[in-house]
Structures are given as C-alpha cells and as structure tokens.
C-alpha cells in the first residue's frame, strides 16, 4: 500500500482520501456478512482480505499525515484485548467463567473506559450512556445498541413478552395516525414500531438485520417462484393479475418454498 500511494504508484490509490474510501469500507463489510450467510468459505477468505485492505489503506493515509501507523493500530487492539479480558490475562484459573459472565466483564471494563474518557477534562460532565454509538450504523443495529446501553442500567422490559405488548401498543398508535394523513406523525410512529421490533429481537437473542435479510431473501424466492408459475401457465402480464390470482399464486409459492432450513 505504501508503494501504491508513493510517487510513481497507482494514480487511483494516490488520489484516495479518508472520505472517498468510506463507502468502500461499508460495502466490503456487507460482502463479508453475505459470504458468512452463504457459508461461502472461499468467498469469505477473499472478502476478509478486502476488508483488511480498508484497514491498511486508512492506516497508510494516517501515517502519511503523521497521525499513527498500522503498528499503532495493532498495538491499541492488543492492549484492549488484554485489558478487557482480565479473566484470561490477569486472573489465572478463571476458565470456568460462563460466556455471559465474560461478556459482562468486557462491558464493565468498556463502561469504565468510556466514563474515564468522558471525565478526562477537568469539570467535565459524566459521559452519557448514549454517547459513542456510531452515527453511521444501520438504523436497526443502532436501535439494538441503544437498547443494550439502557438495559445495562436497568431501563428495559424484564421479559420479551413485555416487548410484544409494547409492539401491539405501537402498532395501534400507528394505525390511529394512518387516518390523519400527517406524514411527520406517521414517520414517528413507524419509527417507534421499528425501534420496538429491534428491541424484541435483542430480547430473543436475534440480530434484526439478519432476520430482515432472511425475510428479504424468502420474499425474493417466493416472488420469483410466482413469476415462473405464471410464465408456465401462459405468461399473462403480472400487472393484469387480480388480487385473487395473486393470492392463489402466493399460496402456491409458499408451499413450494416453505420457511426454515435457509441461511440468512
């Protein structure tokens, strides 16, 4: 990467900046997730390399500007791993710790670090629990993160059933707004419904992004099955189908593509 960025290197690589590379980083991360979802191990090997390239690219640009280098990045990461795993590096004999307890220790150290960073300036107010969550996270992932932060201090539904009740409440509020035509209110109520759904996923131990991806793929398969069925039946234009014909096709597609056994 240093050679690519140097005089006489690649014109495209030399032109890049932190801002121009950002969209590629997000794209590469999603390609890693897709390879994992497909259990495409050769593809995952390649996509992890592409994602690592983003790290190397940023580090090289940072070194050029005198901020830090790739060795600094790795050293900070190694120090963090040691610091947040006291049960491994500082407390021999903690092998019997449960995964949940280990995660609790990680989060406790992380919270202490966040509090220390917030009070670094003299007289600074304690950092909010909501601070430090990346603004560019996908909205579903951000909702889960914010729910986790609130739950860490006890602001949470005690059981998943309480979230289900809240989901019904938010649905009723959305339906009440649907007759009013106020777009801003509709957006707000829909957002509340989606936020609650994300927190239901958290309570169930599921990732809402993966669940929605799974639903997207299932819908795609079933819709394509309907297209194929209609083409075999005579090829009527889809937009000419009646609601009843669509419903019949959909039920047939569901039977041909049952849920379960698919990797999101």
pLDDT of the residue at 263: 40
Give 184-214 pLDDT, tens digit per residue: 999 999 999 999 999 999 999 998 988 898 8
Helix H, strand E, coil C: the string for 72-141 is: HHHHHHHHHHHHCCHHHHCCCCCCCCCHHHHHHHHHHHHHHHHHHHHCCCCCCCCCCCCCCCCCCCCHHH
Say what the pLDDT of residue 257 is: 81
Residue 25: is its pLDDT beyond 70? yes
For residues 55 and 73, is the Cβ–Cβ distance under 8 A? yes
Q: Give mean pLDDT, residues 143-153.
A: 90
Burial group, residue 239, by CB count within 10 angstroms (0-12, 13-18, 19+): exposed
State yes or no: pLDDT of 124 exceeds 80.
Answer: no
Place of tokens 């050029």: 64
pLDDT for position 264: 37
| Per-residue pLDDT at 9 exceeds 90 | yes
Write the CA distances from 34 to 28, 47, 89, 144, integer angstroms.
Answer: 10, 9, 34, 20
Question: How does the average pLDDT of the chain come out, rounded?
Answer: 87
Average of per-residue pLDDT across 105-109: 83
Domains along the chain with CATH numbers = 2-95 (1.10.287.1080), 139-204 (1.10.287.1080), 209-256 (no CATH)
**Rounded Cα gap, residues 192 and 128, in angstroms:** 22
Portion of the chain with pLDDT greater than 70, in percent: 92
* Lowest-confidence region among 168-177, 240-249, 252-261: 252-261
Residue 160: both structure tokens together: 């998943």
pTM score: 0.65
Residue 156: per-residue pLDDT: 93
DSSP string, 115-129: HHHHT-STTPPPPPT
pLDDT tens digits along 68-93: 999 999 999 999 999 888 888 887 66
Radius of gyration in angstroms for the set of CA atoms belonging to the chain, rounded to a whole number: 25
């Amino acid at each position: 990467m240093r050679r690519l960025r140097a005089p006489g290197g690649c014109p495209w690589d030399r032109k890049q900046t932190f801002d121009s590379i950002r969209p590629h980083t997000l794209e590469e991360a999603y390609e890693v997730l897709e390879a994992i979802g497909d259990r495409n191990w050769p593809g995952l090997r390649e996509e992890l390399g592409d994602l690592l390239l983003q790290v190397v690219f940023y580090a090289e640009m940072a070194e050029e500007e005198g901020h830090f280098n790739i060795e600094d990045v790795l050293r900070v990461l190694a120090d963090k791993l040691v610091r947040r795993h006291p049960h491994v590096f500082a407390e021999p004999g903690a092998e019997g710790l449960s995964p949940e307890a280990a995660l609790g220790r990680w989060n406790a150290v992380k919270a202490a670090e966040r509090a220390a960073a917030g009070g670094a300036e003299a007289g600074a107010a304690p950092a909010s629990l909501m601070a430090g969550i990346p603004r560019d996270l996908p909205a579903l992932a951000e909702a889960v993160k914010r729910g986790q932060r609130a739950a860490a201090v006890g602001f949470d539904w005690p059981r998943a059933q309480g979230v289900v009740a809240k989901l019904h409440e938010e649905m009723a509020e959305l339906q009440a707004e649907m007759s009013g035509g106020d777009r801003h209110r509709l957006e707000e109520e829909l957002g509340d419904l989606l936020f609650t759904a994300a927190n239901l996923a958290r309570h169930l131990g599921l990732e809402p992004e993966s669940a929605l991806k799974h639903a997207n793929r299932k819908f795609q398969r079933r819709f394509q099955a309907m297209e194929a069925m209609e083409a075999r039946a005579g090829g009527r234009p889809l937009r000419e189908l009646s609601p009843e014909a669509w419903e019949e096709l959909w039920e047939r597609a569901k039977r041909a593509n049952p849920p379960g056994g698919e990797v999101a």
